[in-house]
Structure 1
Amino acid sequence: MTRVLRRRDQNPRCELRHCKKAKGFPNSVPNVRNPFLSTNDLFLSPSQGESYAGLLPAAANTTSLRNSLYFWFFPSSSSSNPLASNELVIWLNGGPGCSSLEGLIQENGPFLWQSGTYAPQRNPFSWTNLTNVVYVDQPIGTGFSPAAEGEPGRIVDEERVARDFGVFWRNFVGAFGMQGRKIYLTGESFAGQYIPYIAKYMLDANDTEHFNLKGILINDPAFNEDDVLFQAPAVAHLNAYANIFNLNATFTASVNARADSCGYTPWLERALRYPPQGHIPSAPSSSVPGCDVYTDIVNAALLVNPCFNVDHLTDFCPYLWDILGFPSLGAGPDDYFARADVQKAINAPRTPDWAVCGNPTLGLNFQDHSPPAGLPSGPLGAVIERTGNVVVAHGSLDYLLLINGTLATIQNLTWHGRQGFHVAPSSWEEFYVPYGRNLAYAIDALTHQSVPEKSLGLVGGAGVMGRTHSERGLTFVEVWNSGHELAQYNPAAAFRLLEFLLGRVERLDVKGGGFSTEREAR
């Protein structure tokens, strides 16, 4: 049962008694047969739990639907989960300008409609199994969050993003009567820029009634300059995954020589020392002729693999059909959330040309003049100090933002009076993901026959899934077999990370046992 805020109630005074049931999701999509299961069988069924969606103002002293943020709120689906009663998780996608419905429907929501699947399916690793989750389209002008007419230049820095989100969040807390709840900010990619600034705003407000922030989780973050995040580490990553790139020896030797001459190789060696040897200077500039090695590597990879996907190195042709039109379709009739009947069902404003990322007609003109959040002058270090609970994770198969760029950022950051990590990765702990019940069922089914009698649904891998390390309130996790959208490619690992953030488990390297939700169910 999905409930939505009626338009006349879309203001800070909206209460749950003013909400109504949705009419249900449409049961057809052009050119796709039976794309959604019956509303009684999937995410509108009572067993799926209720949800709420609508717009709330993100500008002070207004109840206008313009300059508002769209949200879709899922209270925890586990009635036997008392730990969720006093907390809220906020999920933000990045971009800038990418809708958080991407995270909802393809990463960690209660139902997933992922690439190559003809219908949505239940997600056993839904974050709503752990706690209450709110997906928000932000900043203003993103997804279903409309900007006011005549304000295309509204977003100019992260301070404005944080203020707008703060106004929205006050309204959300008031609308749903959730004052004082613990808040956890989570997201990926450019949310690595948003979240530290929003976290700083919440902490500076000194208002635990509305902003009782307890921790943040950012996956594959865009929180430094491009030259650090993907230019300087581009060739080293190519070398590490040479068998996947499959580029010829002549090109590989040439691009390695250019990395040396451009200064990337010595810079990266200095940036990844443990402990750091003093302040790390800016990475060499890719604007120097011959030094845009990242673009040249991607172009070469496309010649070998025309379906090369920077989000996930091990993707090959053909592109899989995707309900969000990404990566192969782009904006068009296959974008499910662009449909009028779908928008009505989820109480979204009519947006005929909705696109999962970067819709300029909504008024988003993002020109970020704020320092990257991960710089020494950015807010991340202070957020670590003030919360003692910051998790940064990175998928090893991500070639959009590279793991060594994230590590170089951490090594140049100072918190609690010390710079970077002091323990080298060679001595880090293993990141262990439990063997869940659905995995045991899948293994049993596949052992007896190569094609199971019925669909296994979404299954997550288990065992050692990477390596992890914590120092002074910051935890870093390298997640193997995962690309840029970490929860999409390794859902069980992402679920474990949220358990750790929320304090359901104390360590990420403990072997044995199950997920906390399975223990509670016994």
Structure 2
Amino acid sequence: MWLVILFSLLLRLAAAQPRYLNDKTKEFVVNGSGLPFVDFDIGESYAGYLPNTPAGISSLYFWFFPSSDPEASDEITVWLNGGPGCSSLAGIMLENGPFLWQPGTYRPVRNPYAWNKLTNIVYIDQPAGTGFSLGPSTVVSEFDVARQFISFWRRFINTFDLHNRKIYLTGESYAGQYIPYIASQMLDKKNDTYFRVAGIQINDPYINDLTVLQDVPALAAVNEHPSLFPFNDTFMADITAHADDCGYTSLLDDALTFPPESSFPSVPYNSSCAVYSAIINASTALNPCFNPYHITDSCPIPWNAVGGPIVGLGPTNYFNRSDVQKAINAYPTDYFVCKKGIFKTADGLDTSPPSSLGPLPRVIEQTNNTIIAHGLLDFALLSKGSLISIQNMTWNGQQGFEQEPVEPLFVPYGSSGGGVMGTAHTERGLTFSEVFLSGHEIPEYAPSVAYRQLGFLLGRIANLSVA
């Protein structure tokens, strides 16, 4: 018996030893018991800055959380928030980090669905100028974003001796642009020492023109949720006529055919066809607290410890505190969770094609492990817009899905619910899932679903539709 007890103690001691602490990494150590307001130990982590030169002229901020899962020993997962210009630390605090400070709550709490329980994960503020990452930003395209990320990434891999690891790139919203372009450039290097991309996941992603992601599917979403969009008959008739006259209704019907019959024409923006903005304006008139990122929200809007647009109310901007910045090795910064002007172009817009019209199909082909997930309560970017984009893509020799995505997305019962929580469909290396009760940020609104999908991406789960 005493041998069993001794062995157990030795295992605990081994687990407690920092696995990545050495002379190269000691300057990045974060005291897991020293974060302001967090009254528990968040575990081993490392944060700080590494240059993005020569592709850039500055440095990127990262926060790295090693995993205790033995199956994670040969992998590293990246999380990127979107924007463009939104800090990935929002993902830590609100979505999938080891501690959460959720909107309207008094204190941070442990996250039972922290992604570092499954995988080694690093959160990166990029491009330069985002979050804690030092400016100035010099990017005008996703090609610039990817080049600067790769320059940073080589240093990150060398610093923490993560060579030859499988790399999983994950994120949400505008990361639907960032990630396919970064993954594509990594794969083009054909260098497994630094760039062994094994899969990507993009949630509620920006992968096409906003006309496709918003205007075309907007009326269908309104019709699916009449209690959340209680418009009068006159307004409904008006937006229905606009959707019909502008070709949105027929395009949606044609696009959501399985298999698709042909490629779809481009849908240029037309101000007279602004169905989406009309719905937003009408919704805000009916519900002053209407939140397109989670359409069931109503007044009052809960304050948010991270701050920022839409949900950025309340007295606290946690990462703007000097004691917090010191604790996580950030330079003294006037921190904003989202910043404008990241792309240095005349109109402030990204000059690259949407990823579904650019590198995304190639990344699917080269990894055969890509997930596009979407919350059905998200009206900022609409699920049917993602599905239209998929049906217009050609990868692994065929266009779109052959079968309609209707298989159940099953999650084992746990602290945040379980059972069938959406749909999940896989063809030719691409999985598309819809999450019934989630808004734009799936790990925040449906953490058990996000955790399960991560397990699928990492190869821990063979099928999302069965127990």
Aligned to 1:91: 79
Partner of 1:445: none
Partner of 1:238: 222
Residues 69 and 137 in structure 1, CA contact (< 8 A), matched pair in contact too: yes
Shift, 1:60, TM fit:
1.7
Alignment of 1:117-516 (within 5 A): 117-148=105-136, 152=137, 154-283=138-267, 285-289=268-272, 291-327=273-309, 330=312, 334-352=316-334, 354-358=335-339, 360=341, 367-375=349-357, 378-425=358-405, 428-436=406-414, 439=415, 460-511=416-467
Matched, 1:49 2:33: no
Question: Could you say if the C-alpha distance between residues 219 and 349 of structure 1 is closer, same or farther in structure 2, counting changes exceeding 3 Å?
Answer: same
Q: Which runs of 5+ in 1 are unaligned?
A: 7-12, 28-35, 440-459, 512-522
CA distance in structure 2 between the partners assigned to 1:210 and 1:307 by the alignment: 45
Distance across 1 between alignment mates of 2:308 and 2:355? 27
| Shift in Å, 1:270 | 1.1
The 8 Å contact of residues 29 and 47 in structure 2, kept in 1 or not, is answered as no
Alignment match, 1:457: none
1:75 equivalent among 40, 63, 66: 66
| Secondary structure of residue in 1 paired with 2:381 | coil
Query: CA offset at residue 261 of structure 1?
Result: 1.0
TM-score (norm 1): 0.82
Using the TM superposition, give the Cα deviation of residue 326 of structure 1 relative to its aligned residue in structure 2, in angstroms. Answer: 3.9
Distance in 2 separating the partners of 1:240 and 1:363 = 36
Equivalent pair of 1:24/1:345 in contact (CA under 8 Å): no
The answer to whether the 8 Å contact 1:435/1:463 transfers is yes
Q: How far, CA to CA, are the matches of 1:75 and 1:505 in structure 2? A: 21
Q: Is the 8 A contact 2:302 2:313 kept in 1?
A: no
Give the C-alpha shift of residue 349 in structure 1.
1.7
> What's the CA shift for 1:204?
0.4
Contact 2:32 2:45 in 1 (8 A): no
The alignment status of 1:105 with 2:114, answered yes or no, reads: no
Q: What CA distance in whole angstroms lies between the structure 2 residues aligned with 1:2 and 1:142? A: 33
Quote the Cα distance in structure 1 between the aligned partners of 2:308 and 2:161. Answer: 37
Superimposed CA distance per residue, residues 19-67 of structure 1 (whole angstroms, 9 cap, x where no aligned partner): 545496564xxxxxxxx243xxx2xx2xx321000000011289xxx61
Query: Amino acid of the residue matched to residue 430 of structure 1?
Result: P
Contact 1:140 1:364 in 2 (8 A): no
TM-score normalized by the length of structure 2: 0.92
Aligned amino acid, residue 394 of structure 1: H
1:288 Cα offset (Å): 3.8
Deviation at 1:503, TM superposition (A): 0.4
Deviation at 1:16, TM superposition (A): 2.6
Q: Is there any run of 5+ residues in structure 2 with no aligned partner, and where?
A: 1-15
- The count of corresponding residues between Structure 1 and Structure 2 is 449
Give yes or no for contact 1:146–1:363 (8 Å, CA) kept in 2: no
How high is the sequence identity, in percent, across the aligned residues? 52
Tell whether the 8 Å contact from 2:100 to 2:111 is kept in structure 1 after alignment. Answer: yes
CA contact (8 A) 2:64 2:123 kept: yes
CA separation of 1:162 and 1:477: change in aligned 2, threshold 3 A: same
Q: Output the CA distance in 1 between the equivalents of 2:116 and 2:344.
A: 30
Please state how far the C-alpha of 1:339 moved relative to its aligned partner: 1.7
* Letter matched to residue 372 of structure 1: P
Cα distance change of structure 1 residues 61 and 256 upon mapping to structure 2, 3 Å threshold: closer
8 Å contact kept, 1:147–1:364:
no
Aligned partners of 1:219 and 1:486 also within 8 Å: yes
Whichever residue aligns with residue 232 of structure 2, its letter is: N
Measured on the aligned residues, the alpha-carbon RMSD in Å equals: 2.3
Query: Mean Cα displacement is larger for which, 334-343 or 167-176?
Result: 334-343
Q: Is the 8 A contact 1:374 1:381 kept in 2?
A: yes
CA change 1:168–1:234 in 2 (3 A) is same
Does the 8 Å contact 1:141/1:364 carry over to 2?
A: no
